[in-house]
Structure 1
Amino acid sequence: MRKHAFVYMVARIAQAVLVLWAAYTVTYVILNLLPADPIALILKAKGTDVSSVTPAQLRTLKQSYGLDQGAWHQYVTMLFNALRGDFGTSYTYDVPVIKLISLRVGSTLLISALSIVVAIVAAFLLAFLAAYMRRPFLRRFLAALPVLGASVPSFWVGLLLMQVFSFGLGWLPSMGMQGWKSLVLPTITMSIPTGALLAQLLIGGFEETIRSQYVTVARAYGLGRGRILISHVTKNASLPTLTILGLIVGETVTGAIVAETVFSRQGLGMLIQQSVTSQDIPVIQGAVVLAAGAFVLVNLAVDVIYPLLDPRIVLHSKAKG
């Protein structure tokens, strides 16, 4: 059993490394296919035109940014530098990418963590209520809410919340980073699509688990509906949600871009949006690798935890192997 668990973990780690390499490579290829001249972008950020720079200055500038070599040589050099945590220098800000990201990532991690907590609590509460309600029309209404939450654009939700709670009621700031109150609207905006995704899975899991034989036995012993849901249904219905934690990370990155743009927060999401607009390739590359790294780490953690909760996963992997 230990041997199979070891093989299972080695395979998952190798898969994680492959995903990171693929994310870096695909991003590099796509960004280098864009019809843009990096030197022109760098000079534009400095307020200088290409025509006003001498050939010697152009050569020096290309050497300083590593743009004087062919595409393959640049890829290999950048890849090995990335392994050391060096993603180059931003074209727009003229500072190391890793420093630029480290200055912005704290704000994004804060609202991302808060939004995930809010999403998990709201999803479990909604799924519990949908399973607890005895009236069919109430269950159908609650089950339809996640579909509505997943279909509404996040930017529209953010603008609506801003209109109501900032401009209408004046309870919360509409933009910026002004204490804890400025966290409320971005957190809610980011938590809605994530919570909707979780709630859809949990509601289906609750409905399927309630029809299980052991729940029927628990009812026969006279246990109440609420106690059955808390003691027996919730744990087993929640296990499948671990498998979509990677998707939640992806939703969080997307939601951060939308929320920070709408609410003018100087975080990683707005940095990505600004870098895409200005075609700041090193920053985009670093941000994509960071997002992919978070995705890989979360899924790797799930791959470690899930066999502890359900050992059949390792046995199933062995049978497939």
Structure 2
Amino acid sequence: MIGYILKRLGLALLVALAVSAIAFFLLRLSGDIAMAIAGEGAREEDLAIIRQTYGLDRPLIIQYADWLWQTLKGNFGTSIYFKTEVSKLVLDKLPTTILLGFLALGFALLISIPLGVLAAVYPNTWIDRLALAIAVVGQALPNFFFALILVMIFSISLRWLPVSGSATWLHFVMPTIALGYYVAPAFMRLIRAGMIEVLSADYIRTARAKGLPAGKIVFKHALRNAVVPVVALTAVQLGFLLGGSVVIETIFALDGLGYLAYQSITYKDFPVMQIIVLLLSVVYVLLTLASDIANAWLDPRIRVA
């Protein structure tokens, strides 16, 4: 098990390093940092001074090595637009994004697990078709469009929920539903497929022959084994929720990391953009690593393989 963990950890570090390099070079190709600092209409002489001052006239590989070294030391630089330390900005916004991600994940599991179980217990019935229809709609409907529908219904028409901000728990209701419903279909289909497979196993038929209650068979024996693949998907989807909250946070003006990413893109705040991309990539890689370790612990066949 230790060897498997070390192998996966080494691979995760290589992935994180590759992502940081790709993000750095792509952001450099997307615009001129000196122009973002000096502003539109700056003279070429001023741009040359800024490039020399910030080391932007050096080769890109040297700039990347210097940026990576400073980042590893905890020096994330200063925001061009907000005129404050990037680390402070990120730490102030990160809790909101983490809260939204876990709320959305909880909402997705709350609706997908019962639907997946019901669809598997009653296959090829109207219950199964209804669950599949809900899943298809959730995957086909863009989350930003669904968010706008929620705003029209619950904020504009019914006036039940606030449309923007993050001051109270009511501000998180619609963002949680919009973000969680988009990832729920993947959980529902996986649980349905796993439950159908497990319910046809020999030990389930033996449990039925012994006269065990149907609820105990479904939830104690079948669901426990069918939920194992959900562990890996949960980590992946949580990483997607944290990184994919940019649109939802922008629509609802949540004061989180996603909205900060939108602002940094708008104002060409390259230092903030780089750290956000790196942070979300590292979190995604670490969550995937955690899911691999959890699956290896739950299923010894993975360790042997």
TM-score interval (norm. to shorter): over 0.9
How far apart, in 2, do the equivalents of 1:302 and 1:211 lie? 27
Q: Stretches of 4+ moved more than 3 A in 1?
A: 61-66, 132-135
Report how many aligned residue pairs link the two structures. 305
Choose from 93, 103, 106 the match for 1:114: 103
Choose from 68, 71, 75 the match for 2:60: 71
How far apart, in 2, do the equivalents of 1:42 and 1:101 lie? 20
Q: Find the counterpart in structure 1 of residue 42 from structure 2.
A: 50
In the alignment, structure 1 residue 38 sits paired with structure 2 residue 33: yes
How far apart, in 2, do the equivalents of 1:292 and 1:259 lie? 19
TM-score, with structure 2 as normaliser = 0.93
Cα deviation, residue 134, structure 1: 6.7
Structure-2 change in CA distance of 1:64 and 1:101 (3 Å): farther
Identical residues among aligned pairs (%): 32
**Structural mapping, 1:242-253, within 5 Å:** 242-253=231-242
Q: Secondary structure at the match of 1:185?
A: helix
Q: Find the counterpart in structure 2 of residue 25 from structure 1.
A: 21
In the alignment, structure 1 residue 163 sits paired with structure 2 residue 152: yes
| Cα deviations by residue, 1:234-268 (Å, 9 ceiling, x for unpaired) | 11110011222343034203441121111111211
Q: Find the counterpart in structure 1 of residue 167 from structure 2.
A: 178
**Contact (CA 8 Å) 2:235, 2:290: kept in 1 or not?**
no
Which runs of 5 or more structure 1 residues have no equivalent in the other structure? 317-321
Cα deviation, residue 40, structure 1: 1.2
Structure-2 change in CA distance of 1:64 and 1:190 (3 Å): farther
Q: Tell me the amino acid that sits aligned with residue 246 of structure 2.
A: I
Q: Find the counterpart in structure 2 of residue 7 from structure 1.
A: 3
Cα deviation, residue 274, structure 1: 2.0
Cα deviation, residue 156, structure 1: 0.8
Q: Find the counterpart in structure 1 of residue 273 from structure 2.
A: 284
Which runs of 5 or more structure 2 residues have no equivalent in the other structure? none
Q: Secondary structure at the match of 1:218?
A: helix
Q: Secondary structure at the match of 2:95?
A: helix
**Contact (CA 8 Å) 1:202, 1:237: kept in 2 or not?**
yes
How far apart, in 2, do the equivalents of 1:90 and 1:66 lie? 16
**Structural mapping, 1:1-321, within 5 Å:** 5-34=1-30, 36-44=31-39, 49-51=41-43, 55=46, 59=49, 61-133=50-122, 136-316=125-305
TM-score, with structure 1 as normaliser = 0.89
**Contact (CA 8 Å) 2:236, 2:287: kept in 1 or not?**
no
The CA RMSD over aligned residues, in Å, is 1.9
Q: Tell me the amino acid that sits aligned with residue 67 of structure 2.
A: M
Cα deviation, residue 91, structure 1: 2.2
Structure-2 change in CA distance of 1:188 and 1:148 (3 Å): same
Q: Tell me the amino acid that sits aligned with residue 50 of structure 1.
A: A
How far apart, in 1, do the equivalents of 2:77 and 2:235 lie? 27
How far apart, in 1, do the equivalents of 2:155 and 2:272 lie? 32
